[in-house]
Amino acid sequence: MSFRTIEWRDDKVIMIDQTRLPSEEVYNEYTDFQGVAEAIRGMIIRGAPAIGVAAAMGVALGARGIIADTHESFFKQLDNVCDVLARTRPTAVNLFWAIQRMRRVAEANRDKDLHSIRAILKAEAISIEEEDLRICKTLGANGAALIKDGATILTHCNAGGLATAGYGTALGVIRAARDAGKKIRVFADETRPWLQGARLTSWELMKDGIPVTLISDNMAGFFMKKGEIDCVVVGADRIAANGDTANKIGTYSVAVLAKENRIPFYVAAPISTLDLTLKSGDEIPIEERTASEVTHIQGVSLAPEGVTVRNPAFDVTPARYVTAIITEKGVVRGDFEAGLKALVGQ
C-alpha cells in the first residue's frame, strides 16, 4: 500500500488523518489514550477493523501512561482506559472485540511485573494490526473467486485499506480480483453525509491504479437497471447471528436495489465483525452523529439554520438481501445462522 492507515512507531501511534483526505495526506501522532479516543470519535480513523486496531493501540498507550505502585491500582486504571475507548463509537463490534482481547491478555498476565504487562500489551496491539492485514488478504482471496473477469463492482462507503490495517475487506476482494488478473472496474457511491466513497474510496483506488467511477448515492439504481453493475461488495460494522448486517447508512437501500435488479450483494468482513450474541440486526446499536454532518459540507452550510435533522450513521441490511458473507475462514451462503456458527467454531 502506498499509505499506512495506522502504526505503532517509537512508542507513538501514527494515523493518517482521514478527515483531511483527499486534499492533504497528513499523519498525526498520539502519545496518550485520550488522543486515540478523540481520533476514533472524530473519525480521524474510521472503519470497523481500523478502529479495533486503534483501540488496541490506545489500550497499550494507556497502560504505558499509568502510574501505579500496586497491581490493584494498575488494573483499576487500565479498566478506565478501556472504558473511555469503548465509549467512542457504538456500532462497530471490532472496537469492543479488540478492547476485550487486550483486557484478557492483561488479566492472563496478572502475575507478571507491571513493566512486563505493559510490554505484553504493546506486543498484542501490534499483533492485532499485523493479523488484520493478513486476514484482509485471505478474505480478499476468498472473495475474488466470486468476481467474474470484466465485472463492474459497486461499493458503498470505504471498506478499504483506510478502514483496516491495510488492503481492506470489500476493497480487499476487489484488490485480490485485480491481482488474480481479472479486469475489473469499480463504481463508488459517494456515501453522504460523510463522503467516505467520494473522499476515501476514490482516492485509495486511484492511488492503486484500479479504475473507479464516482457516482452520487441516488444514481446506484439507475446504473443497476441499465445493466452496468455486475455485483455489489460492501464491508460491515457488525453482523448478527442470523446474517443481518450493519454497515454505513445507505447500504440497505443498495441491497434492496440489488435484489430488485437480480444483482449479487456480497458482504466482506473478518470474523471479528461477527456478533453472534445478537440474534438479529434489530439488536445492533446504531450511532447517531451530529446534525452538522448533514447540514454542512466542509464547513459550507447547505440547509436553513435550525432545520430538524436526523443522522443515523449506519443501517441494517436484513440477511435475505445478502447473497453471501465473505470471511477469512470461508464464504457463507444460504443458512447464515448455521454457516456463521460453524465458521466461528472452526
Q: Which amino acid is at 259?
A: K
Q: Which amino acid is at 222?
A: F
DSSP state of 283: G
122 is an interface residue for ligand MRU by CB under 6 A: no
18 is in an annotated binding site: no
275 is an interface residue for ligand MRU by CB under 6 A: no
248 is in an annotated binding site: yes
| Neighbour tally for 267: CB within 10 Å | 31
Beta-sheet pairing, 245-248 with 314-317: antiparallel
173 is an interface residue for ligand MRU by CB under 6 A: no
- What distance lies between CA 129 and its chain's CA centroid? 13
245 is an interface residue for ligand MRU by CB under 6 A: no
Beta strands in 137-244 (DSSP E): 152-155, 185-189, 212-215, 231-234, 238-240
163 is an interface residue for ligand MRU by CB under 6 A: yes
Q: Which amino acid is at 137?
A: K
Query: Can you tell me which of 52, 58, 140, 235 binds ligand MRU, judged by CB under 6 A?
Result: 235
Least spacing, CB of residue 283 vs ligand MRU, in Å: 18
Report the SS3 class of residue 286: coil
Query: Can you tell me which of 142, 202, 247, 272 binds ligand MRU, judged by CB under 6 A?
Result: 247
Stretch touching ligand MRU by CB under 6 A, among 24-32, 113-121, 156-164, 328-336: 156-164
Angle (CA) 322-237-40 rounded to 5° is 160
Query: Can you tell me which of 248, 265, 317, 332 binds ligand MRU, judged by CB under 6 A?
Result: 248
Instruction: Decide whether 53 or 313 has the Cβ nearer to ligand MRU.
Output: 313
- Binding residues for ligand MRU, rule CB under 6 A, total 17
- Which single residue is written with the C-alpha cell 444483482? 263
Q: Are 92 and 54 in contact (CB under 8 A)?
A: no
> Rounded CA gap, 264 and 33, in Å?
41
Stretch touching ligand MRU by CB under 6 A, among 21-29, 41-49, 72-80, 173-181: 41-49
Angle (CA) 8-11-12 rounded to 5° is 65
Q: Would you please indicate which residues are annotated as catalytic (active-site) residues?
A: 237
Q: Under 8 Å CB-to-CB from 76, ≥6 apart: which residues? A: none
Query: Can you tell me which of 21, 39, 47, 95 binds ligand MRU, judged by CB under 6 A?
Result: 47
Instruction: Decide whether 163 or 177 has the Cβ nearer to ligand MRU.
Output: 163
155 is an interface residue for ligand MRU by CB under 6 A: no
Cell of 52: 479495533
- What is the end-to-end Cα distance of the chain in Å, rounded? 30
Least spacing, CB of residue 204 vs ligand MRU, in Å: 12
Stretch touching ligand MRU by CB under 6 A, among 157-165, 211-219, 278-286, 301-309: 157-165
Stretch touching ligand MRU by CB under 6 A, among 64-72, 211-219, 232-240, 258-266: 232-240
Q: Are 164 and 136 in contact (CB under 8 A)?
A: yes
Stretch touching ligand MRU by CB under 6 A, among 40-48, 52-60, 210-218, 255-263: 40-48
- Dihedral through CA 330, CA 332, CA 336, CA 342, nearest 10? -30
316 is an interface residue for ligand MRU by CB under 6 A: no
236 is an interface residue for ligand MRU by CB under 6 A: yes
Q: Which amino acid is at 110?
A: R
Least spacing, CB of residue 287 vs ligand MRU, in Å: 8
> Rounded CA gap, 137 and 332, in Å?
17
From residue 16, alpha-carbon distances to 72, 126, 217 in Å are 36, 17, 26
317 is an interface residue for ligand MRU by CB under 6 A: no
Residues that constitute the known binding site for substrate: 46-48, 89, 196, 247-248
Interacting residue ranges for ligand MRU, rule: CB under 6 A: 46-49, 92, 157, 159, 163-164, 169, 196, 235-237, 247-248, 313
Residues that constitute the known binding site: 46-48, 89, 196, 247-248
